[in-house]
Amino acid sequence: MRDTITRRFILTIFLVLAATVAMNGAFVALSGVWGRPSFEKSGLPEAAAATVRIIEAQPPEQRAVLARSAGTRLYNVAWHPMPLVEPTAALRDGYIAGRDRLRALLEDPSRTILFLHSGHPAIEAGVLAEDFTRRGQLYFVSVALPDRSWITFSAAERSWGIATPLRGVLIVLFAIASILGFSAAAACSLASPVAQLARAVHRFGVDPRAPDIPLSGPVEVRETIVAFNAMQGQIRRFVEDRTTMLAAISHDLRTPLTRMRLRAEFIGDPVQQQKLFRDVDEMRSMVDSALSFFRDDAGQEPATSFDLPELIKTIIDDYGDQGTRIDYMGPRHARWTGRPRALRRVFENLIENALKHATPPAIALRITDLGAELTVCDRGPGVDPDKLEQVFLPFHRLSKARNPSTGGMGLGLTSARSIIRAHGGDLTLRNLTGGGLEAIVALPRMSFEEA
């Protein structure tokens, strides 16, 4: 049979039933007399009732000998004209289940029947009972005959098990234990590949170059993994082809730009020549920035586990060595899974923007249930509210909102947001009350271990 979910459920149910029967059998086989049926279901009441019927049908002078011969290896039988102990009301109501069973077999609902054991106070006080206990008898059942004589069944060892309700409780507990054990094992074996698939889907959102998922689990789950691996490969090839094509286009633009600069050398008007030189240089810078952007996008850095606060503090220390003090507030350590070099470029870009356009920033890292939130705040002029999203467009520079003397081709924030979104997060900007700009980097929770 194929390894399907249906087959696993059927096999689990079969194993649960088999385990329940096996555990109950082991209990009966290994627990001694406690695993046997209760007295009323052990067959002893039927044997006792038959013996009582035979003996009470005989004349009194023959009953003692007949009773002794009715004993077995499990119990002894004795007839005596006086009761073993005084049959008080409390004694007559002892062990109601056994008493009612014997009464039903004797077809006499008013028959006096006493169940006793050697530790009972009535046994210790009875003169006749003392003779039984002296011979090592421990358990007693006395049945009154119509002529007020008695037949006593006594045993040195217990040969019956626990009461029926307790035995039923034990069987139910065995069933529950087997159900929980095999159901947990089956659920884990089924949930493990599904959880593996969920982790791989989440990782693919963070790392497009994540390896394929190994095949495991039932047929339905394996078919889903095969489809996901195929989809992951197609998306990866599509992104790589797009990036390669755009990088090739940007690279090929260098040749006509070089020809344009050479031809500009032959322009007689110096003013127009300088303008053309500036245009060519600007286009060359745009091409170089685009190539750098595409190379970063096509980078092969794998996702690894690293200390996120330690990465941030390393960047802050580097700027501190250059004489720039940057304040940090946040945890000392927190494990994170991602691409550390790419994230370092993001954080350095945000810090550089603050240093170029405003003031040395303050950095705060906060760990939440949803992940990590990093903020980079400065006290500069900020950005017009309607242009907070435009700064992320490629080659778009808001020179009016910031210092117009700064350079750059407008790809820094575009690249930064692309890296953060590749990690499953987002990068947004927000103007602060009282002046300044706040860059917010939100990263989803992957594997934090805060210290």
pLDDT in tens, 343-386: 988 999 899 888 888 788 899 999 887 788 999 998 888 888 88
Q: How, if at all, do strands 327-329 and 362-367 pair?
A: parallel
Region of poorest pLDDT, from 143-147, 320-324, 382-386: 382-386
How many structural domains are present in the chain? 3
Same domain membership, residue 410 and residue 339: yes
Same domain membership, residue 414 and residue 355: yes
Average pLDDT over residues 23-46: 78
Q: Model confidence over 42-101: pLDDT tens digits? A: 888 999 999 999 999 999 999 999 998 998 888 889 998 888 888 887 778 778 888 888
pLDDT at 46: 93
pLDDT at 134: 64
**Which residues span the domain enclosing 391?**
304-444
Is the pLDDT score of 298 beyond 50? no
In this structure, what CATH number is given to the domain that contains residue 230?
Answer: 1.10.287.130
In this structure, what CATH number is given to the domain that contains residue 370?
Answer: 3.30.565.10
pLDDT at 397: 62
Please indicate, yes or no, whether the overall pTM of this predicted structure exceeds 0.85: no
pLDDT at 410: 62
Residue 285 maps to a domain? yes
Mean pLDDT, the chain, integer: 80
Residue 374 maps to a domain? yes
Average pLDDT over residues 420-442: 87
pLDDT band at 289 (very low <50, low <70, confident <90, very high): low
pLDDT at 441: 92
Is the pLDDT score of 18 beyond 50? yes
Same domain membership, residue 341 and residue 408: yes
Same domain membership, residue 338 and residue 360: yes
Q: Which tokens belong to 356?
A: 């170029």
Q: What angle in degrees, to the nearest 10, is found between the helix axes of 219-252 and 5-30?
A: 140
In terms of pLDDT, which residue wins out, 335 or 5? Answer: 335
Same domain membership, residue 390 and residue 259: no
Same domain membership, residue 340 and residue 232: no
Is the pLDDT score of 143 beyond 90? yes
